[in-house]
A and B are shown apart, each in its own frame.
Chain A
Amino acid sequence: MNPEDVGLYADAYWLLVLIVALPLAGTILNGFLLDWLGIAMGKKAREVLTSRPVVYGVAIAAVGAAFAIAAYAVFGSLLPSVALVEQDAAAHAHGQTPAASLTMMMWKWIRVGGVDLDAKLLLDPLSAVMILVVTGVSSIIHIYSTGYMAHDPSYRRFFTFMNLFVFFMNILVLGDNMAVMFVGWEGVGLCSYLLIGFWYEDRAKALAGKKAFITNRVGDFGFILGMFLIGTTTGHLDFAGIRENLPMLKAAPGIVVPFVSSIEFFGPVSLVTLACLLLFLGATGKSAQIPLYVWLPDAMAGPTPVSALIHAATMVTAGVYMVARLNFVFNMSPPAMTFVAVVGAITAITAALIGFAQNDIKKVLAYSTVSQLGYMFVAVGTGAYIAAIFHLMTHAFFKACLFLGSGSVIHGMHERQDIREMGELRKMMPHTHWTFAVSVAAISGLPGLSGFFSKDEILWRAFANGNSYLPWAPGFVYMIGIITATMTAFYMGRLYFLTFWGKFRGPAELKAKVHESPLSMTVPLMVLAGLAAVGGYIGVPAALGGTAIPNVFEHWLHPVLMEIPVREALHHSPIEYGLMGLSVLVACASLGLSYYLYGQGPSPLVGRFTTAIHPIYRWVHGKLWVDELYGLIIYRPLGWVAALCHRVFDRFMIDKLMVEGSAWLAYSGGWIASRMHSGKVQRYAGVMAVGIVLILYFIAAPRTEVDVQDQGNNTVRFVAPYASAPYTYAWDFDGDSLDADDEERWALYEQAWTSTPVVLHRYPAPGVYRAVLRVRTPWHFERKRVIEVRVGEPVQEVE
């Protein structure tokens, strides 16, 4: 096969445009085009064109077609390209296989000075995985949404925003440079905001959207700065360009950060580390890590499909994707990577802890998401990028399934979300139950399911990390990781058993009304549960699969992601099996414990335990009071500053000085001018007479500006002024008339009363002379001017 046939090495693999453009087309059609068309065609047509079947059809078709095209691009073009590149590498013995990629150069975007940015899309193995996950899960969730939003009057707005989200997410994933990626990055943030606040009549929900948006803004600030830092140092923002110019990044001098650098341990921060930390700040915003995770639990205010799609499966993984994309940059900075891993681990355990004491079914899942994202950052922080992307993918499956399952439960429970009111639902909602069960098992890490493979790989790599900046970090991160795994299994078990087992604890009249969701909701659940169960088999670790089950996933991503290998001593070590056994053990034990405590409804033991540790329980139940802490140290001081600015800038400078000041200026100016309008004709005439006299004087008075040009050879050319009225001129070139008295004066004038304005005079020797010019008008006004003439100085070059 030729490289040209599959689009390799060409800049015009235009199917990529379709993947991006189709969801946008869906947005445009559903957002306004169909409505306009309907308005043009009449009332009946408008009703049809904005009816549910049409809107659902357009939205699902747009995303589904994008998925189909993405699948074709990946399996039809990228796969053969990878094979070609591998053959080529084998033939030429290049060593590491280079990454095959298909690109689409859409247009030249910014070409200013040294900036050279294209609107370009890139499909390589990494973005291939992402685009398949994004469009695939999106398609499933779009189908589910038709059932979930069946009674919502704003279905058009919902599907418009959902398609818009997929559009931006595709841009984020397919962007060939950080700027294009950033467009998607901001776009998904916007859609997240729009969809969290989807039911904006509810003030709390509108505020949750705002919180998400503003928190992300803090992170975006880090992303932008990191991007600029890399861009200005390497001169490139496209990933290939950055990769080629890594030495420049390495050679850049360290930056003295105030306060931090004065601590001997840190010293001047190397530029790579700073860039990585700034980018990681961006990732903490988008991917809900400490310290910016606070928005994600609140984001559950949005419709459940939104929680599943944006706040579990796709958008929140953008930070992980970004770090993995820039793996070659992060690899250069062990301190930054260690920081990422430690922050990820602490986030994982903190979120899991909070998840223990939440009673809202979606809140538990939200904290679980934060916790799992923490795992992904542990993975990228230890250089296990493939494991991170692997966990990202499996997490997308089981967490989407869990969220959609919770949506189904909420739907069946008539908009109730409190798990204390549930129970026994496995009988009323059998399909929701078994899909939920599969996903809980997967996230808990029961062997054979997808979560087991991905999470265990992360834990193993965290333990065996050989590149840590701090010697204690791998052990610390692993410890936290395994504790978190235990906790995850427990609180997921708690959620599951409280929801589906025991006796129904809600109001009795509700029990009869609880119903299984329609097929449009359960079929997506089944598909996702299936993926959650078997999705892990494409990435079975070598320690388990051996040669029988090849690790396809690793082989696929290997060319793009520069993995940090495990410690030499731990290669093929039996410790790996030990750790695996340990995590299976703790998962099973936790699930067993949760069944014991919650299998028949909350056991009395739970109540006794929470009363015994009441202060701690309140602290955990109150989400560790982080929101309150932020309110105290950030929100309130900001409010004071804002109030001060309001008073100084808004009230005083703008309202008083600018608005009222300009009004006062106009008023008083008008008052002064109105005093002149006395209504007395003679006063007007007097002013006019004075004006006319002044004008006449300026017209009649002679002008005396002289242009002196040194011609060389001691000759000077004088160009006297001339006006429309004929002037006459008298010249005294050597200025001797200045000292003479009145009678002698005229004799000393070399030239008296000529009418030619241009005269030449040759001086005897170079030097500085004073010349006198008298100008006379026809009305015998006369004016004298003394000119300083420098003779013999070099003539200035005139361009």
Chain B
Amino acid sequence: MMEALMEFPKSLSGGLTLSVTIFVIGMMGFLLRRNMLVSLMCVELMMNAANLALITYNRFNPATDAGQVMVIFTIIIAAAEAAVGLAIVINLFKFHGEVRTDRASEMKG
């Protein structure tokens, strides 16, 4: 199990395919689900799909470690983003009594 993980991804296209798949799942979830908590999780999913693409490229172009460094940055930003996002969710809940995204449409034209 551990070895399999260490060897992943075995090819560039394999890693990228997985990355794209996860990204699309995250995007579709973000676009279609109404629960804001789920939306936040979908954002995380998309971000991690991007991380996966970065380390995949890094593995097959190992001249620098730029890809991996980038991933570390992203994780940190994701943590900050999660904190802000959850704070918004809590406020939204206090305001509306629920966290459905389509209810929070005060900004409509």
> Which A residues have a C-beta under 8 Å from some C-beta of B?
673-682, 685-686, 689
Contact = CB atoms under 8 A, between A and B. Distances in A.
Contact of A679 (B31, B34, B39, B106): B106
State the majority secondary structure of interface residues on A.
helix
A696 to B, nearest CB: 13
A681 B101 CA distance: 7
A682 B34 CA distance: 8
B27 A679 contact: no
A680 B102 contact: yes
Nearest to B27: A689
Nearest to B102: A680
A215 B31 CA distance: 76
A674 B109 CA distance: 5
Given A673-B109, A674-B109, A675-B109, A680 B101 contact: yes
In order of increasing CB-CB distance, the 4 nearest A-B pairs are A679-B108, A679-B105, A674-B109, A677-B109
B7 to A, nearest CB: 26
Contacts, number: 34
Contacts of A673: 109
A780 to B, nearest CB: 11
Interface of B: 27, 30-32, 34, 39, 101-102, 104-109
Nearest to A678: B108
A678 B27 contact: no
A685 B30 contact: yes
Contacts of A678: 105, 108-109
A295 B54 CA distance: 91
18 contacts: A674-B109, A675-B109, A676-B109, A677-B109, A678-B108, A679-B104, A679-B105, A679-B106, A679-B108, A679-B109, A682-B30, A682-B31, A682-B32, A682-B34, A685-B30, A685-B31, A686-B31, A689-B31
Q: Chain B CB within 10 Å — which of A681, A685, A686, A689 has the most? A: A681
Contacts of A679: 104-109
A705 B34 CA distance: 46
A677 B107 contact: yes
Contacts of A675: 109
Contacts of A681: 101, 104
Contacts of B27: 689
Contacts of B107: 677, 679
A680 B109 CA distance: 11
A680 B104 CA distance: 7
Contacts of A674: 109
B104 to A, nearest CB: 8
B102 A677 contact: no
Nearest to B108: A679
A678 B108 CA distance: 4
Contact of B105 (A676, A680, A685, A686): A680
A431 B104 CA distance: 98
B28 to A, nearest CB: 10
Given A682-B31, A686-B31, A689-B27, A677 B101 contact: no
B43 to A, nearest CB: 10
A682 B103 CA distance: 12
A686 B30 CA distance: 9
A685 B107 CA distance: 15
Contacts of A689: 27, 31
